Structure 1
Amino acid sequence: MRLPAAVAATALPALALAVLGSSHPAVLTPESAPWWRDLHIIGLVLFPLLALGPWAVVRAARPAGVLGRVLEGLAIVLGLVYAAFYGALDALAGIGGGHETMRVGPGPWVAALFEIADALGIRGAYAYLAATLLAAVLALVAAPGPWRVLAGVGALFAVVGAWSFLTSHIYWPFGVATMVMLGIGHTAMASAATRRRAAGRHGPAVAAAGHRVASP
């Protein structure tokens, strides 16, 4: 994966969710319900795209051969699990909760709806954490030389962000900070991992050129 594509995949969804989360209502009320619902309709598109972050890192950092394909497949499966289960939270507590509050007002049904939404969403968040841990390990292994420092910093940001995501959603301020950390972390790891690819492409050519120059 080329660096511009990796940066777009890792940075843009997380930053878009950070912007969206900056206006997330703190509490669902009849007054906040319209934007609560509409915000999560937008989130139906943006939240699944967050899975591109770990996948882009794994894609850039994976080893060659069957093992690399298996690891990338695992990242894709974890991303699908995250998107499905976290999407259920978004639809139930976000769209459903907001719409029903607009129509029938607050009531005991809100707690019941949020209960099942949270039970599903946490499974998706744990899948995202697992994908991020996989990406962090591969990036640290793959990054060459001094680029491993960037991979390490990115891994710290991304793993802490993925852990925070278990409870923070995108609420201001912690959820917004979580999205920023995920964007920074995965982008840093992808940037470091793609250097391995670049070094692999140019290394033999540089070595061959040096040999030709040295030959009489």
Structure 2
Amino acid sequence: MLRSPWQRRALLAAPGLLLAGFGVVHPGQLDAASASWWAALHVVLLPVFPLLAVAQWSLLTSAPPWLRWPGRLAAFGFAAFYGGLDAVAGIAAGTVVHAQHGATPVVGAVFAAGDRLGYVGSACFLVASVLIVVAAALRVGWRAAPGAVVLLLASVSFVDSHIFWPRGVFTMAGVAVGMFLLAPAEEPVRDR
């Protein structure tokens, strides 16, 4: 069990910060020179992206059931579909470009399939974030506003930014900050 609320907040922010860091070293485009690193990086990212869903799941702990369960279902949808994006447009596309020594029409088809998965996954992430914000607002009112604004802006940006530098990196940093700021809304209310 976490010893302090600060540890919990840091743990909730950690996946976004990790992904922002990986975004700094993510190749800007896939070509023969970047293909090997592209594929390897997405193997590393496979277990990291679902940690965002774990953070969302955790932020929904004290939400009323009518928000908690749809939010957790959306977080699960994010983990499943965004993981598919990484497997297809990350690992598979990088492997194909590396094996063919450059991009071919096959890579376009692979990216199209991955993009569809990514849009579904990022839409699920946005839905879960909206439900987190609603739950936080119901629990603590206007005190949730700073974290809510940051998390919602970052979640909207995530729909088409992935973690690419620079926008995707700032998007993931925004996710981390938003979750950090919203974590107190999920902590037990203490009597005075």
Query: How far apart are the structure 2 equivalents of 1:140 and 1:198?
Result: 14
Aligned match for 2:80, one of 75, 81, 84: 84
Query: How far apart are the structure 2 equivalents of 1:78 and 1:9?
Result: 21
The unaligned stretches of length 5 or more in structure 1 are 63-67, 204-216
By how many angstroms is 1:34 displaced?
1.2
RMSD: 1.7
The unaligned stretches of length 5 or more in structure 2 are none
TM-score by length of 2: 0.92
What is residue 129 of structure 1 aligned with on the other side? 126
2:189 equivalent to 1:198: yes
What is residue 208 of structure 1 aligned with on the other side? none
Aligned match for 1:72, one of 57, 65, 68: 68
Aligned amino acid, residue 88 of structure 1: G
By how many angstroms is 1:4 displaced?
4.3
Query: How far apart are the structure 1 equivalents of 2:24 and 2:71?
Result: 29
Query: How far apart are the structure 2 equivalents of 1:6 and 1:74?
Result: 23
Instruction: Give 4+ residue runs of structure 1 displaced > 4 Å after superposition.
Output: none
Secondary structure of the residue that 1:31 maps to in structure 2? coil
What is residue 18 of structure 2 aligned with on the other side? 16
By how many angstroms is 1:7 displaced?
1.4
Partners of 2:154 and 2:172 within 8 A in 1: yes
Secondary structure of the residue that 1:136 maps to in structure 2? helix
Secondary structure of the residue that 2:94 maps to in structure 1? helix
What is residue 206 of structure 1 aligned with on the other side? none
2:32 equivalent to 1:35: no
Aligned amino acid, residue 192 of structure 1: A
Which one has the largest radius of gyration?
Answer: 1
Query: How far apart are the structure 2 equivalents of 1:69 and 1:187?
Result: 22
Aligned amino acid, residue 198 of structure 1: V
TM-score by length of 1: 0.82
Give % identity: 35
Number of aligned residue pairs: 189
By how many angstroms is 1:135 displaced?
0.3
Partners of 1:6 and 1:57 within 8 A in 2: no
Q: 1:97-152 CA distances to partner (integer Å, 9 max, x unpaired)?
A: 111111112211111100011011101110100000000111111126xxx33x10
